[in-house]
Amino acid sequence: MSDIMDINFNAVTGDLLKMISDYDGTEFKGAYNIRQDSECAGRKSSENVSIEPKTDNPGIVITVKPGTKGETVFIPACVTHSNVDDLVYNDFYIGEGADVVIVAGCGVHSDGEETARHNGIHRFFLAKDSKVLYKEKHVGTGTGTGLKKIDPVTDCYLEENSRLEMDTIQLGGVDRSTRNTSAVLGKNAKIIVRERIMTDNEEVAITNFKVKLDGEDSGADLVSRSVAKGNSHQEFYSLVEGNNRCTGHSACDAILAENGTVDAQPALNASHVDAALIHEAAIGKIAGEQLMKLRTLGLTEEEAEAKIIEGFLK
């Protein structure tokens, strides 16, 4: 058990927290809520950030006061054994002019035969002129045969001149994941999404993005980089709707290795003459010339491949 005030979690959660939420083994610097196996294992509000339990569903309401600057909010969730099906609803209300970082990693550990699943349903309400950097890291650990599943849903509502930057990463160990992200943008609002996924063995990862650019001069930039190894499979679907004068870009770059497979279907839907929308999708194995270049620097083929993938998913 941890000896930290307000926190009471087990060793598996401690290990997962180090991987997913910048936890240094001593404390979280800022407001936090730690969820462990569908229970609260620690919660602390700060002067500017309040975290309260929801009354209608399992989950919390995070409210950031207008004008709050430079604070980080930690809301990691961990499932530490099999036969857990965790469902949580978290709502984030970001006050006008606030500028904060939210770290919301998820770790699932299973040494058993039953499924271990975390399903986090997050809603973001960004008030005028607010900014959020949302960092989300997913890991799966343990040697059990039970499936480790993470299915995040993120719905975002961005008011005028607000900006949401999502940095999501899932590098192996999660057997099944379906990520659904949607956003509705007001005037001059911006959303930037950077997703990196690596799957191996029999893992399956599905990503759905849906962005509505409703406000004048709103913008979206969605970039997904993925590596599918072993017999794993990934699917990438994105739909960017331009309903006003706006800019939208989505890109899916995927590297295939061994028997990995990827389906990518980026879609654009422009209903305004000044909507400027672009999509790109590129899937293939590592280019031979890239391996060759790194080999001319003295790396073996295996080292070169590892370095290329490491850089690609950085």
Partner 1 sequence: MLELKNLTWRLPSGEKIVDDISYKATQKLIVITGPNGGGKTTLAKLIAGVEAPDSGRILLDGEDITDLDITQRAQKGVAYAFQQPVRFKGLTVRDLLILAAGEHMKETSLCELLGKVGLCAEEYIDREMSTALSGGEAKRIEIATVLARKAKLSVFDEPEAGIDLWSFSKLVETFEDIRNNTDGTLVVISHQERILSIADEIIVVANGKIRTAGPREEILPALLKGEYTCSCPRRNGGVCQ
Chain residues binding partner 1 by CB under 8 A are 225, 253, 287, 289-290, 292-301, 307-308, 310-314
How many angstroms separate the CA atoms of 160 and 128, rounded?
5
In 10 A of CB 178, how many CB atoms? 16
Q: In whole angstroms, how close is the CB of 287 to partner 1 at the nearest point?
A: 8
CB 312, min distance to partner 1, A = 4
In the complex with partner 1, the residue whose CB is nearer, 224 or 244, is: 224
Cα 117 from Cα 230, distance rounded (Å): 23
Nearer to partner 1, 176 or 307 (CB): 307
Provide, rounded to whole angstroms, the least separation between the CB of residue 300 and partner 1.
5
Name the minimum Å distance from CB 168 to partner 1: 16
Comparison of 96 and 303: residue with beta carbon closer to partner 1: 303
Compute the least distance from the CB of residue 229 to partner 1, in Å.
Answer: 16
Distance in Å, CB of 289 to partner 1, minimum: 5
Closer residue to partner 1 (CB): 6 or 310:
310
Short-list 120, 111, 138, CA closest to 10 = 111
> Would you say 276 or 287 has its CB closer to partner 1?
287
Compare residues 1 and 288 and give the one whose CB is closer to partner 1: 288
Nearest-approach distance from CB 255 to partner 1, in angstroms? 9
Q: Least distance in Å: CB of 213 to partner 1?
A: 24
Judged by beta carbon, residue 60 or residue 291, the one nearer partner 1 is 291
The residues, any chain, with a CB within 8 Å of residue 143's CB and separated by 6 or more, are 111
3-state secondary structure the chain: CCCCCCECCCHHHHHHHHHHCCCCCCCCCCEEEEEECCEEEEEECCCCEEEEECCCCCEEEEEECCCCEEEEEECCEEECCCCEEEEEEEEEEECCCCEEEEECCEEEECCCCCCEEEEEEEEEEECCCCEEEEEEEEEEECCCCCCEEECCEEEEEECCCCEEEEEEEEECCCCEEEEEEEEEECCCCEEEEEEEEEECCCCEEEEEEEEEECCCCEEEEEEEEEEECCCCEEEEEEEEEECCCEEEEEEEEEEECCCCEEEEEEEEEECCCCEEEEEEEEEECCCHHHHHHHHHCCCCHHHHHHHHHHHHCC
| 129 vs 253, beta carbon nearer partner 1 | 253
